[in-house]
Amino acid sequence: MKISLARDVLLSQLQTVTRVASTRSAIQALSGVQIAATADACELRATDTDVSLRVPLDAQVERDGTVVLPARLFLDVVRALPAPEVSLELRSAQQDVELICGNATFDIRTLHSEDFPPFPEPDPATSVSLPVAAFVDTAMKVAGSASRDETRPVLTGILVAASGSELRMVATDSYRLSVKETTLASPLSSAFEVNVPARALQELARIATHAEEETELEISVRQNQVVFVLGEMVLSSRLIDGQFPNYRQLLPETFDHELQVSGPELREVVRRISLLAQKNAPLRLAFHAGELTISAQTPDIGEARESLPVAFQGEPLEIGFNPEFLRDGLDAIEDSDVLLKLISPLRPGLLEAADGSGFIYLIMPIRLNV
């Protein structure tokens, strides 16, 4: 293999693909980046077996070939190169790649290519196409609610369901639940429902930041795998086994109180008062006739409170929430008014975007000490 290309092109694509390379696997090749060069195309590949990514590389291919180089070292070397053009040549006898850039020469030992797994290919028969902006925006609304606890793998994913003109995503860590429904401009050719690792969709979102808003994302569901094709980039991910919770059963059918509050105003108050909710201290929301007082107190640090008018009626009610979780829900609603729905201090509260954008956020309360 021998290729030559612009240093900045190599650096940009390498920064993208290296994020996916494994940092924990006992298989050394998985910590590497594969360069695959043919007369027709050249691309970079990385995988940790759960998530795999292929990105195109605009290079002049002088000799075909495939090689695997240590991802982090390769990235550090390319980032430090002194000249705008770089060439890479596989030297099989030395089991290394000679990298030349200006007056600098690096000989980097290769990893075992035979240990680098093949990548799944999209299946045109099961492929559906939809706007990437709609898909990514929906995923990012709910991704924060996915669990990071690997002991319950099914909760580390995002349930992605699509049929007709509706795209729906759900995530929960058992302390909060996010649901986002998005109406698509055109109906899909087929339906699917899969549990995708949240990390895979977050990587897809990073890649999509460079795509045009109207760009189409192709999604192909295979056995135990989902493949996303965005232009010339291909990201694939394993699917999570196990039954995702029936989230509809978690949503209360009725609420005793339903208040409409300015989302930006409530978010700013919560952000300010949360500064004094430290060491696992809850954020307290006390409702009285026509008023909501948000307060926090941390022993040996201090306390804070702030009130804002709300259309509350009935017996006073005080409920506590995890401040970070509450902020996450309000951030996802962004600039819309918030519908705040409550039952009692010991029952979950619900935040809903009042603009009808299809986002709801269920949050478990924290039992308050009087």
Q: Is residue 368 part of a domain?
A: no
Q: What is the pLDDT of residue 44?
A: 98
Whether 370 is covered by a domain: the verdict is no
CA distance 15 to 11: 6
Q: Please name the residues in contact with 108: beta carbons below 8 A apart, sequence gap of 6 or more.
A: 69, 70, 73, 74, 77, 96, 97, 99
Domain coverage including residue 81: 2-115
Q: What is the mean pLDDT of the chain?
A: 96
Same domain, 48 and 93: yes
CATH number for the domain spanning 149: value is 3.10.150.10
Digit-coded pLDDT (tens) for 256-278: 999 999 999 999 999 999 999 99
pLDDT at 346 over 90: yes
CB distance 164 to 191 below 8 Å: yes
Dihedrals φ, ψ of 8, to 5°? -65, -35
Tokens of 219: 């999604």
Place of tokens 């899909």: 188
Residue 87: inside a domain: yes
Q: Is the pLDDT of residue 223 over 90?
A: no
- C-alpha span between 169 and 223 (Å, rounded): 20
Nearest to 61 by CA among 46, 39, 80: 39
369 within some domain:
no
In a domain, 24, yes or no: yes
Q: Which contiguous run of DSSP H or E holds residue 106?
A: strand 104-109
Question: What is the per-residue pLDDT across 283-340, written as a single tens digit (0 to 9) for each?
Answer: 999 999 999 999 999 999 999 999 999 999 999 999 999 999 999 999 999 899 999 9
Give the number of domains in the chain.
3
Element (H, E) at 140: helix 132-142
pTM score of the predicted model: 0.94
DSSP state letters, 282-303: PEEEEEETTEEEEEEEETTTEE
The mean per-residue pLDDT over the stretch 137-142 comes to: 96
Note the pLDDT tens digit of each residue in 109-131.
Answer: 999 999 999 999 998 888 999 99
pLDDT digits (tens, 9 = 90+) for 181-222: 999 999 998 999 999 999 999 999 999 988 877 789 999 998
In a domain, 221, yes or no: yes
> Which tokens in the block code for residue 174?
């058992």
